Amino acid sequence: MATDPTPAAAELSTKINDLDRRIRDLQSEARLATVADELENLDTALNQMTPRLKEIRELGYVFGHDLEDKITAVRRQWPTLRSGAKAQIAKQGPELQGALKPLEVKLANVKRRQAQVADATRLVADALPGVENLEARVTAAQQAIRGSFDAFKREADLLSSRLTDVKRIVEWTRDGKFTPLAGEGVYAAVAAKWDRDGKDDPKGRLFLTDQRVLFERREEIATKKFLFVATEKELVHELLLEVPVREVDGVVASDKGLLGHEDHIDIAFTHEAPVRAAHFHLDGQDNKLWVTLIERAKAGEFDKERAVKVDPAVDHSATAPTKCPSCGANFTRPVMRGQTEIRCEFCGSVTRLGQA
């Protein structure tokens, strides 16, 4: 009949398991494999940046005039940093693995003597300082090697994250229910809910271009239910709001919800707009950033960031008529760059722009 181990034996077993785990960890870490993998991952990410940007440009992204130069700069800087880090791995890895061998021998001795509780306990205590010392050496080596390219990695990660965000924006635009005007570029987009005082508050995507503020509803709604559970759904995707940035009268950020973690913005529009105000709950982006972006769009500052310049031939805002040729009524809404026609609010006739 098996007997329960003594408290001393049980404690020894725990110590041996811990020692075994720490040495197994060192067998991996002493090769500095984690740092080597980080170098390879960073190398792959940098090699993908140029084709990623090319794809984004082909999808129609016209801003980020600095992206090409930034990618060229990081790719030029990387080979020297990579070579230095790899040289340190090649030098320190074998040294650390060599220091691990005596510890592996001690662990094997401990396991052989486990039945002799007192002797094995002494051997564990004898092995621990060496394990702790090697763990400290491995950590120091990893930190030193990472330190040689850590600042560079942060910069490269920010650049990669920016490309990811831009890719999302262009994909949302291509999936959108609006067509960009000639020369118009989408600068920002965020998932959002249009809060209309609880009356059919639609969820979707808020877009900001250099010419317009747009909101698309994009959400699944239940078409059939059984016992309050949706059994059939359909995607509702429609453009609900389209306002020239010139008709933005002001924008204010507010923090709501538990501990103020919800980002909201209120946009006020001029009397020419289809609505006088709109309140949006942003999902995943800073409301203060959006206040700044909308103000910059209204001031025409996005043009400074264009990689693809606007063809002057698409801008009819300076030469557009101010009155309807059919009924003589004043056109009240400003003409946007890229706009090709004006529809009279009074008689409904359409005036083509840019035609002789």
pLDDT tens track for 240-261 = 999 999 999 999 999 998 777 8
3-state class of 184 per DSSP? coil
Domain ranges for the chain, please list them: 7-162, 175-305, 311-356
Whether residue 198 is predicted with pLDDT greater than 70 in this model: the reply is no
What band does 187 get if pLDDT is binned at 50, 70 and 90?
very high
pTM of the model: 0.82
Cα gap 253→275, rounded to integer Å: 19
* Position 206 pLDDT exceeds 70: yes
Q: Could you tell me which of 40, 148, 153, 45 has the C-alpha nearest to residue 92?
A: 148
CATH 2.30.29.30 given to domain 175-305: yes
CA dist., res. 86 & res. 106, Å (int): 31
Give the CA count within 13 Å in the CB-facing half-sphere of 267.
33
Q: How confident is the model at residue 3 (pLDDT cuts 50, 70, 90)?
A: low
DSSP-assigned beta bridge partners for residue 225:
230
Are 113 and 120 contacting, i.e. CB atoms less than 8 angstroms apart? yes
pLDDT greater than 60 at residue 2:
no
* Lowest-pLDDT range of 99-103, 184-188, 233-237: 233-237
Whether the CB-CB separation of 239 and 177 falls below 8 Å is answered with yes
Q: Which amino acid is at 141?
A: A
Choose among 236, 353, 211: nearest CA to 294.
211
Where do we find the tokens 């950590």?
139
Mean pLDDT on 340-348: 86
- Name the phi and psi angles at 9, rounded to 5: -65, -40
Give the Cα separation of 259 and 200 in Å (integer). 26
Q: What tokens were used for 87?
A: 């040289």
DSSP H or E stretch at residue 290: helix 287-298
Predicted pLDDT at 1: 42
Identity (one letter) of the amino acid at 222?
A
